[in-house]
Chains A and B, each alone.
Chain A
Amino acid sequence: MSLSRRTVLASFGAAGAGVMLAACGEQPSTSPSPGGTDGGLSGEITVLTPIFTGATERRAAYDAVVASFQDLHPDVRVVTDHTDFSKLNEKLTASVASGTTQDVIMTGVGWIEHFADRGIFAALDRGVVEGVDYVDRILEPCTFQNELYALPLILDTRAVIVNRAMWEEAGLNETPTTFDEFREAAKALTAGSGSSKRWGMILNGIGSPSHILAMPMGANGGRMFSEDGRTALYNSPETVEAMQFLVGLIEDGSATWDLKPAEGSPHPFVTGAVGMSLFGDQHWKPWSEANPELLSEEGSLVFRMQNARESSFMGGTLVSRSATSQNSEAADAFIRHLCCGPQEVQTITEALSAVPPLQEVLDASQPLQENRFVSFGVEGLEFATSEGGTPNYLEIRAAVVPLLEEAFIGSKDVETALNEANEIAQTMIDRDA
């Protein structure tokens, strides 16, 4: 008798799960799950996340989302391992090696290929994103060999901000549409000398050198790797020109690689020590608190780098399921709850001051609409360039970054550095082909 009841419940559950998968975007995640309130899900799922450490409001937002999931699935226990991005790979590798891979894993753009190729992440059912209004570009970093391996939770977009008063004082009008115009603008913004020099542009400190290169590379229509990920393109003419443009800012005396925002100190853009800077969404809160006038529409201009096309940088946090999860249904339900529920995404993106992958979240959130970096990021998602594109990318990036740094500090010319980078990247790709 009891076996028969289980069978019936399981049938309903399976049918319901299919419906749920196909309707993630149409149904609020707070809707009852198939099979009743708890969807028949039970047991424990483990989660590894690198984005909820630090400020207490981040953790509180995550805890609230977990609590709302557990309201729906009271028999599922969520155990979370919090870390940060610098230790994420180490933690993940150790857990994979020891056979204790977490069920749900949050990583970044450029990471999916590495873990999908090694069979660590499971392919998700495409139906999960049906009806969800994603810009196509957003799902590219979640996809490997035409399979979906992750859902985006938050996006991290980066562009350029300029001090409007300095801009007008330098006699500049339109924002630059070519690399040459950008360099001229940076020169015009540069003033003074010695220790009181005002730099036209600050390059260092907003992400790694590969993030910094990605933006102008995208503006030139370039890529780090071919579409199939088999060919490194670090020394393509588009990438070389993009890197030359960045190094040119230093050669012009408009920027220096030595200027890097110090931990705990106000950013040089906020203090007026530089005219232009790259920015990321996470800078909105500290910068606007430190200098609200400068961060207002009247105080500053934001724009995307441009040459052959417009380009911003897009990173983000992507959520995957382990291929070895022993509780994959509960893990999938948690991923859907986290990434497809507008209320959940809103809670998290507001706490993290991050770009939501769902337009409806921005439309519903006053704080996000008031955040210029976020609203500008959402507007420009179609122009976004990301890093990654090959299974060895994490290893390649570790090897390439020092070469990019050598080009930035002038100990190697751009062409030599990128030729070496390309050779190293191609060797790594071929080794594992």
Chain B
Amino acid sequence: MVVALVLSFTRYDIPAPPEFIGVDNYVEAFTSRSFQRAVLNTLFLTIVAVPTAMIIALVIAVLLNQGMRWQGFFRTAVFLPHITATVAVAVLWLWIFNPDHTGLLNRIIGTIGLGPVSWLGSTEWAMPSVIVMYIWQSIGIKMLIYLAALQGLPPEVGEAARLDGANSLERFWYMTVPLLRPATFFVLVISVISSFQVFDQIYILTSGGPANATTVMTYQIYQSAFQASRMGYASAQSIVLFVVLIILAIVSRRIVGGTDAH
């Protein structure tokens, strides 16, 4: 971290030695259209994917906490994508998003006379497609945290509410959700951090394209470091990413608020 901070104030174009250039790298990062686009894309991915994945994970966790049959199997199935290598997962999704009629999604929409759609090749669909894959892959760990939190809730609170006449939806909304606030804060923070670190999916599925539609901050940093050999500039972009993450962690804390009390 310290080395990255120091290098961010240098021009370090491998293999030339670092040369101090002040804040030039930061000026370039803030004025670069492609980096601005990467920041916006990352924010978009975070704003869409994180809440969606959290809601789905919470619902699944509640469903898988009811003592249903095959519960262990379903928990494993939901968690499996999280521990599967992204490269393998991406190959699967490349087939699902295949732009011709052999792709799974295009086959499905083809049955109602639509498509084919170039899911990863069009600027409209590329980012939503990446987000869908990201959500699918990231639900497992969130579900696991929620499941652990749900099992730690005192059963007597729910029982009291039931006696007071609250239906299951009311119990979920007015009791479970507030009681899960510490878990929600934790899930939110790790989800935001993880969404800002999305790289593998972009690298394999779209390489940031088309027309920078799926370029995210980590991919830009990779390009600066390994396409342009500009380690100083890449370090400055990394520091910007770090600062944004710190800010978002603080904002998350404020949004969820009062978690220490629990």
Contacts and interface: CB of A to CB of B under 8 A. Distances in A.
Query: Do A and B actually bind?
Result: yes
Interface of A: 86, 89-90, 93-94, 96-97, 114, 118-120, 195, 204, 257-260, 262-265, 268, 392, 394-395, 398-399, 401-403, 405-406, 409, 411, 432
A403 B123 CA distance: 12
Contacts, number: 84
Given A259-B99, A264-B98, A402-B209, 17 more contacts: A90-B226, A93-B14, A96-B14, A97-B15, A114-B229, A204-B121, A257-B210, A258-B122, A262-B98, A262-B99, A262-B100, A264-B95, A265-B98, A265-B102, A395-B227, A405-B209, A409-B210
A401 B207 CA distance: 11
A394 B14 contact: no
Given A402-B209, A411-B211, A89 B118 contact: no
Contacts of A265: 98, 100, 102
A202 to B, nearest CB: 12
**Main SS of chain A's interface residues?**
helix
Contacts of B100: 262, 265, 268
A409 to B, nearest CB: 6
12 contacts: A89-B226, A118-B14, A118-B15, A119-B15, A260-B99, A263-B94, A398-B223, A402-B208, A402-B211, A405-B209, A405-B211, A409-B123
Contact of A260 (B94, B115, B118, B207): B118
Contacts of A204: 121
A97 B122 contact: no
Interface in B201-221: 207-212, 215
A386 to B, nearest CB: 19
Contacts of A86: 207
Interface in B1-42: 13-16, 34
Given A93-B226, A257-B121, A409-B123, A402 B14 contact: no
B231 A97 contact: yes
Which 5 residue pairs across A and B have the least CB separation, nearest first?
A395-B228, A405-B211, A258-B118, A402-B212, A90-B226
Nearest to B227: A398
B227 A89 contact: yes
Given A97-B231, A409-B122, A118 B211 contact: no
A96 B15 contact: yes
Contacts of B99: 258-260, 262
Nearest to B208: A402
Given A90-B226, A258-B118, A409 B14 contact: no
B103 interface: yes
B102 A93 contact: no
Contacts of A119: 15
B228 A398 contact: yes
B102 A409 contact: no
A395 B230 contact: yes
Contacts of B115: 195
A263 B231 CA distance: 33
Contacts of B95: 264
A118 B229 CA distance: 10
Contact of A409 (B34, B110, B211, B231): B211
B114 to A, nearest CB: 9
B225 interface: yes
A111 to B, nearest CB: 11
A118 B231 CA distance: 14
Contacts of A432: 13
Contacts of B210: 257, 402, 405, 409
A258 to B, nearest CB: 4
Contacts of B228: 392, 394-395, 398
A196 to B, nearest CB: 11
A384 to B, nearest CB: 25
